[in-house]
Amino acid sequence: MAKLKNAITPKGVLSWPYIAKPDTRYNPEGVYKTSLVVTSAEAEKLMEECKEAFVSEYGQSKLAKAHMPFDINEESGEVTFKFKSKRQPKVYDAKGTIIKKIPQISSGTVAKVSTAINPYATGINTGVSLYLNDVQVIDLVEYNAGPKFGAEDGYEYEDDGETTTKEPSLNAEDKDSDF
């Protein structure tokens, strides 16, 4: 097994974080994961560390076909790193105090991620994984289900106390239906 190298990311914006609860969509045991979007200038160091970890373990010749845990958006110049773990990460506030009751952290949260860089080679699959160890929340955006609309000029509902849905008839003589 490759030797893991620990690293801390620069500040970035979380995207699709599963930190308070695991994502169970494709794995019933659940996976804690998030993506972190940073500028290319800030991403450079971690991108190089990922490549160096792979090369030191498997050699320069395999690097071209290795899957890296980041995507580069050529238009915006942003880099998106992907992290995952089977265990729930510890979460800290901006001052470094551990958060015991983890809030529903949402996309848009500014954070740093503590990670372990893991080069791998399993058959024809080669690359680097980034483990999600800890998260430091700098500016929290908490998940809020459902829209919270403000008042607008326009249509205004008036409740007259009557129900707005018609109950289906079970009477066979009711022929108002096309069925």
Burial classification of residue 32, based on how many CB atoms lie within 10 Å of its CB (0-12 exposed, 13-18 middle, 19 or more buried): buried
With contact defined as beta carbons under 8 Å apart, do 7 and 124 qualify? no
Report the pLDDT value the prediction gives residue 153, as an integer from 0 to 100. 86
**Which is nearest to 102 in space by CA: 23, 33, 21?**
21
Rounded to whole angstroms, the Cα distance separating 54 from 68 reads 9
Q: Where are the domains of the chain?
A: 5-139
DSSP state of 170: -
Q: What is the mean pLDDT of each run of 10 residues along the chain (179 residues)?
A: 86 96 94 97 97 95 94 95 97 96 95 97 92 97 75 80 57 53
Decide: helix, strand or coil at residue 51: helix
> Which pLDDT belongs to residue 2?
63
pLDDT of residue 3: 78
CATH 2.40.50.140 fits 5-139, yes or no: yes
Give 23-30's long-range contacts (Cβ < 8 A, gap of 24+): 29/86, 30/86
pTM for the full predicted model = 0.78
Q: Which two tokens stand for residue 19?
A: 């930190």
